[in-house]
Amino acid sequence: MADILVLVEHRRGEIRDITFEMLMKGKTLSEKTGKPLTALLLGNDVGEMAEGLKDLANRVVLIEDPKLENFNSEIYQRVLGNVIEQEKPFLLFIGHTAFGMDLAPTLATQMKAPLATDCTDVMVDDDQIRAIRQTYGGKLNVEVRLKPAPCSMVTVRPASVSVEDYSLAGEITRVTSPLTEEIASKRFLEYVEAAAGEVDITQANILVSVGRGIKDPENIPMVQELAKSLGATLSCSRPVVDKKWLPKDRQVGTSGKTVKPTVYIAIGISGAFQHIAGMKGSGTIIAINRDPKAPIFNVAHYGIVGDLLKIVPALKGKISEAFA
């Protein structure tokens, strides 16, 4: 039976969050279709990592080779092509990351496999694979249908799948590396860490986000105090970054970061579709805006219509009283 195959993405000894999201989606599809869920782990001396994945798949296919020490799309493509020929998976998940965007198109071309990229959801009905992806900067959701093929491929947008605990008690299958020669056209030189920002808003459990309605940068500390009282992280919409009131690493939206906190509080944010596309997967959304027709209220679970300059201090006061 053809498997649902998830390519494990890892970097510097750590499995990336996108892997757990793809496994979660793969588990859902596995339960519906009856097709086994398999995690494919490529690397060198990553046996311990494979052990950590056993509970998340029916099987972990492990291929180790010194040439797989660091990601190289050409080498990964060579190995994956071999795996697809041997395993004949029904569906292959790859993260829509720098890693996946480098690998997936050329692999799909090599294998003559249909590919849907940057997907926020994937469904299967009677072996018909359908995927949801966004277009026009997130303004429209489009359903695409992949033509029937021995193997289909999908790249999954990070932070588009909610992860829950589960256990499948899988087993590890070690496979001999098919790499028998050097691939000279591309080689890994070194890993250069991007300049770290002050915070990583994608990891925050609670986000308090500020928008154009804050009016003046002198009002931002007031919102920062509210965030601090909640144990939250401060984020923002694009206009705040454009005005240089907060740094780029705080921006939520299609041109910023996609976030899925447990609680998202939008303060003075009208709710342009570019911003909503980056936060609509949040657990609970609370909006504060003086315009009752602001688009943000269409996705908010709770809304307050009024002047944020009055509401925020009052809200902080109530929170301080509650935790006094």
d(CA 2, CA 16): 25
Strand partners, 173: 61
d(CA 139, CA 145): 20
Written as six digits, the tokens of 322 are 């509650």
Q: Are 12 and 134 in contact (CB under 8 A)?
A: no
Confidence (pLDDT) at 75: 93
H-run or E-run covering 51: helix 47-53
Confidence (pLDDT) at 193: 67
Written as six digits, the tokens of 47 are 């046996």
**How confident is the model over 11-43, as pLDDT tens digits?**
989 999 999 999 999 999 999 999 999 999 999
Residue 193: which residues within 8 A CB-CB, separation 6 or more? none
d(CA 204, CA 208): 10
Q: Are 282 and 261 in contact (CB under 8 A)?
A: yes
Which residues does the chain have with pLDDT short of 70? Answer: 1, 137-138, 183-184, 193-198, 324
Confidence (pLDDT) at 273: 86
d(CA 18, CA 82): 23
Q: Structure pTM?
A: 0.79
C-beta atoms surrounding 199 within 10 Å: 14
Confidence (pLDDT) at 198: 64
Confidence (pLDDT) at 184: 60
Instruction: Name all domains of the chain by residue range, CATH numbers in brackets.
Output: 4-174 (3.40.50.620), 201-322 (3.40.50.1220)
- Distance separating the N- and C-terminal Cα atoms of the chain: 59
Residue 35: which residues within 8 A CB-CB, separation 6 or more? 1, 2, 3, 4, 29, 90, 91
d(CA 298, CA 302): 10
Confidence (pLDDT) at 258: 87
Length of the chain: 324
| Residue among 132, 125, 103 at smallest CA distance from 29 | 125
